[in-house]
């Protein structure tokens, strides 16, 4: 039996409209996607499902976006999961901090145009390693 490599994503966003839109956006591109409102609810799910991508909003419920990203980055189990943050351009301090963790930033107003560029990097194993900072430089 051939094993199929599934693309599985988690979207964490408290705003229902944006969360649903991001979930549908990824599903239309062949991803299996789950959505959550609260970042602190993600950890039990993350320990059970092998996600290939996590999309987060810049204003999470349950903990700050930076706290969530820091926990993932400090975790041996989760730090290799690529992260996309959908952020408002006005949150410059947040954006600068997220960039230090290697989070791909999508502008809240243009995220549907920004995300496909990053998603393409996940299509090949070498590009995926580079996207999360564990592969050799180009």
Assigned domain for 124 exists: yes
Assigned domain for 136 exists: no
pLDDT digits (tens, 9 = 90+) for 125-138: 544 444 445 444 44
Q: Which residues pair with 34 in a beta bridge?
A: 10
pLDDT digits (tens, 9 = 90+) for 49-101: 999 999 998 888 888 889 999 999 999 999 899 999 998 877 778 888 888 99
- Is residue 107 left, alpha or beta, with left meaning phi > 0 and alpha meaning psi from -120 to 50? beta
Sheet strand arrangement including 104-107: 32-36, 8-12, 53-57, 83-87, 104-107
- CATH code for the domain in which residue 108 is found: 3.40.50.2300
Assigned domain for 94 exists: yes
Assigned domain for 2 exists: no
| Contact between residue 34 and residue 46 where contact means Cβ atoms under 8 Å apart | no
> pTM score, two decimals?
0.84
Assigned domain for 3 exists: no
Count of domains for the chain: 1
Residue 125's domain spans which residues?
Answer: 8-131
| Long-range contacts (CB closer than 8 Å, 24 or more residues apart) made by 88-96 | 88/58, 91/58, 94/58, 94/65, 94/66
Task: Provide the mean pLDDT of the chain.
Answer: 85
Assigned domain for 110 exists: yes
The pLDDT of residue 134 is 45
The pLDDT of residue 124 is 59
Assigned domain for 67 exists: yes
């Amino acid at each position: 039996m051939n094993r199929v490599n599934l693309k599985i994503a988690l979207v964490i966003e408290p705003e229902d409209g944006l969360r649903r839109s991001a979930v549908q956006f990824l599903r239309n591109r062949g991803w299996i996607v789950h959505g959550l409102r609260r970042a602190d609810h993600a950890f039990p799910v993350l320990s059970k499902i092998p996600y290939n991508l996590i999309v987060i909003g810049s204003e999470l419920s349950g903990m700050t976006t930076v706290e969530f990203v820091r926990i993932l980055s400090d975790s041996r189990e989760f730090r290799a999961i690529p992260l996309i943050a959908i952020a408002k351009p006005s949150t410059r301090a947040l954006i600068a901090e997220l960039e230090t963790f290697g989070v791909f930033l999508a502008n809240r107003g243009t995220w549907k145009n920004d995300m496909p560029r990053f998603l393409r990097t996940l299509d090949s194993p070498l590009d995926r390693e580079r996207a999360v900072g564990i592969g050799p430089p180009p």
